[in-house]
């Protein structure tokens, strides 16, 4: 190969390198790839990377008003998912979880002989209707460090039915939630915007009453 041909070959290689470099630079400057802030297609059960959640509500829906009319038979069907770890009959043996006969009204972490997590043993109070609603909605959110590896019962109708069935699993079923219990739960679990709106609406109603009273006092009675 002559010197002239060698120079041409080297020049061609150099030009090719320059063209490739420029092409890459132009592509980077004109196209700006960026990470998506959320999944382009929502997939049920998969957490959104940007929010760290699935869009589920931060608190369970209130269900105490539903318990009296709930279908206990449906609750028994829902409870079949729990039979891997629990028994429900009177005197039944503990499994991975404690026996749940007469659980409604029982102190948390109090089943004799069962090895509870520290979080459950230290959780105050008993299993009333409202507490069970919280726990069954998402156990790990309600009791930190619980050994119960269960995602929870998401449908409010299913939770109400399950609790109605659990109520029947006792020698003497607990009284149904009172109107006061129902109102307290609905207030505690109201969405933030509803909780903020309620005092404003009450204020408007009170102002309306005052204005009506003033008008009645100023205007003469009809026929006088």
Who wins on pLDDT, 30 or 6?
Answer: 6
Q: Are 138 and 53 in contact (CB under 8 A)?
A: no
- What is the CB-side half-sphere exposure of residue 137 using CA atoms within 13 A? 20
For residue range 8-67, what is the model confidence (pLDDT) as tens digits?
A: 666 666 666 665 666 555 545 444 444 333 433 333 333 333 333 445 458 999 999 999
Sign of CA dihedral 201, 206, 207, 212: positive
Tell me the C-alpha distance between 62 and 65, whole Å: 8
pLDDT for 111 equals: 94
Answer whether CATH 1.10.760.10 is correct for domain 64-180: yes
SS3 126: strand
The backbone torsions φ and ψ at residue 18, rounded to the nearest 5 degrees and listed phi first, read -65, -45
Q: Can you give the pLDDT at residue 131?
A: 97
How do residues 76-130 score in pLDDT, each as one tens digit?
999 999 999 999 999 999 999 999 999 999 999 999 999 999 999 999 999 999 9
Token look-up 């089943």 returns 111
Task: Give me the count of residues in the chain.
Answer: 224
| pTM of the model as a whole | 0.63
How confident is the model over 145-162, as a mean pLDDT?
A: 95
For residues 160 and 75, give the distance between their C-alpha atoms in angstroms, rounded to a whole number.
8
pLDDT(222) > 90 = no
- Do 214 and 166 meet the contact criterion of CB atoms below 8 Å apart? no
Predicted confidence at residue 6, as pLDDT, reads 62
d(CA 168, CA 101): 9
Greater model confidence, 139 or 205: 139
pLDDT at 58: 82
Whether 182 shows a pLDDT value over 90: the answer reads: yes
Provide the pLDDT for residue 191. Answer: 85
Instruction: Quickly count: other Cβ atoms within 10 Å of residue 92's Cβ.
Output: 14
Q: What is the pLDDT of residues 188-213, one digit of tens each?
A: 999 876 545 545 555 665 666 666 56
């Amino acid at each position: 190969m002559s010197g002239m041909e060698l120079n041409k070959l080297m020049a061609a290689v150099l030009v090719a390198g320059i063209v490739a470099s420029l092409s890459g630079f132009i592509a980077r400057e004109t196209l700006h790839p960026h990470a998506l802030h959320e999944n382009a297609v929502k997939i049920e059960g998969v957490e959104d990377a940007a929010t760290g959640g699935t869009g589920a509500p931060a608190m369970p829906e209130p269900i105490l008003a539903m318990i009296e009319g709930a279908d206990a038979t449906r609750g028994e069907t829902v409870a079949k998912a729990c039979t891997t770890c629990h028994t429900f009959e009177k005197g039944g043996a503990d499994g991975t979880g404690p026996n749940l006969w007469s659980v409604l009204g029982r102190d948390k972490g109090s089943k004799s002989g069962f090895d509870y997590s520290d979080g459950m043993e230290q959780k105050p109070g008993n299993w009333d209707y409202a507490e069970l609603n919280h726990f069954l909605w998402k156990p790990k959110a309600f009791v930190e460090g619980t050994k119960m590896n269960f995602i929870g019962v998401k449908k409010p109708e299913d939770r109400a039915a399950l609790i109605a069935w659990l109520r029947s699993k006792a020698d003497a079923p607990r009284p149904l939630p009172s109107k006061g219990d129902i109102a307290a739960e609905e207030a505690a679990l109201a969405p933030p915007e509803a909780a903020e709106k309620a005092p404003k609406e009450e204020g408007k109603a009170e102002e309306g009453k005052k204005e009506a009273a003033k008008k009645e006092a100023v205007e003469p009675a009809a026929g006088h």
